Amino acid sequence: MRVDRCLCEDKPFAMLLAVARREGLDLGGLAEREGCGTHCGWCVAYLRRGLRTGESSFGELLPKESLDGA
- The residues of the shown chain that bind ligand FES, judged by CB under 6 A, are 6-8, 36-37, 39-43
- Which residue, 21 or 66, is less far from ligand FES as judged by CB? 66
- Which residue, 23 or 64, is less far from ligand FES as judged by CB? 64
> Residue type at 30?
L
Strands (E) across 1-70 are located at 5-6, 11-12
To the nearest whole angstrom, how small is the minimum distance from the Cβ of residue 9 to ligand FES? Answer: 6
To the nearest whole angstrom, how small is the minimum distance from the Cβ of residue 16 to ligand FES? Answer: 9
Going 41 to 45 to 46 to 52, the CA torsion angle's sign is positive
When computed from its CA atoms, the radius of gyration of the chain, rounded to whole angstroms, is: 11
